[in-house]
Structure 1
C-alpha cells in the first residue's frame, strides 16, 4: 500500500498491485494505474519510492518509477546512451545510461522466472 496524507481526510492508502508507473512533474507525481486511471499527488518521487516494494518497482530515470510487471519490452537507443521502457499500455519511459544494465538484468530475470 502507498500512503499519502490529505489535509481534509487524513491518511489515505492506495493499492500498488495495479500501479504501472509514477512520473514526476516538479514537486508533484502522476500515478498511473493499469485501468487508465491517473492521480496527481503533491509529493516528489523521493517521498513515494521508499513506500513501494523493491521487488516490483525500479527507478529507470530521475523522473519515473516503473512496476516491472508491466514492462513489455526494453529498447536501447544508442550503445553509449540509455533507452526506453515500453509498457503494456503503450507508454514509453526513459532509462538512463547508468541504470540500463541493472534494469535489463532485473527484467531478463523476471521474464525467465515467469
Structure 2
C-alpha cells in the first residue's frame, strides 16, 4: 500500500522499477510508466524492501534487480534499466550491487 494523494494505492512489488529519494519524499517509478511521489523517506522503503529484489545503488536511488538490463563495468558504475534509464552507482555501493546482481541475474553483467 502506497499513500498517494488522498488515498492508498496497492502496488505489487514486481511493478516497481526504481525508487528515487528527494529529501523527505520518494518517487516511485512503475513499469507502466507511472511516477508517484510519496511523503516518506527512501530509508523507510529501503527497510521495507530489504531481502527482496531491491538494492540501494546510490544515496538517492533503489533499483529492482529484475529490471536491470545491463551493468557497465568499464564505465564508472552505471547501469541501464529496462525502461532505458541510466542510473549511476556509487563506488561505496558498487560491490554490494555486483554481488546481488550475480545472484539474481548473471546475464546483466557486461
TM-score, length basis structure 2 = 0.82
With over 3 angstroms needed to count, the CA separation of the structure-2 counterparts of 1:88 and 1:26, relative to structure 1, is same
Structure 2 stretches of 5 or more lacking a match? none
**Which structure is higher in strand share?**
1
> Rg: which structure is higher?
1
Structure 1 stretches of 5 or more lacking a match? none
Which structure is higher in RCO with an 8 Å CA cutoff and minimum separation 6?
2
1-structure distance, mates of 2:3, 2:34 = 20
Match of 2:95 among 91, 95, 101: 101
- Structure 2 counterpart of 1:37: 34
TM-score, length basis structure 1 = 0.79
Over residues 14-68 of structure 1, what are the superposed CA-to-partner deviations in whole Å (9 max), with x where a residue is unaligned?
3211100000122111100111111011111012122225231100111011100
**Which structure is higher in helix share?**
2
Q: Count how many residue pairs are aligned between Structure 1 and Structure 2.
A: 106
Aligned partner of residue 13 in structure 2, secondary structure: coil
- Structure 2 counterpart of 1:17: 14
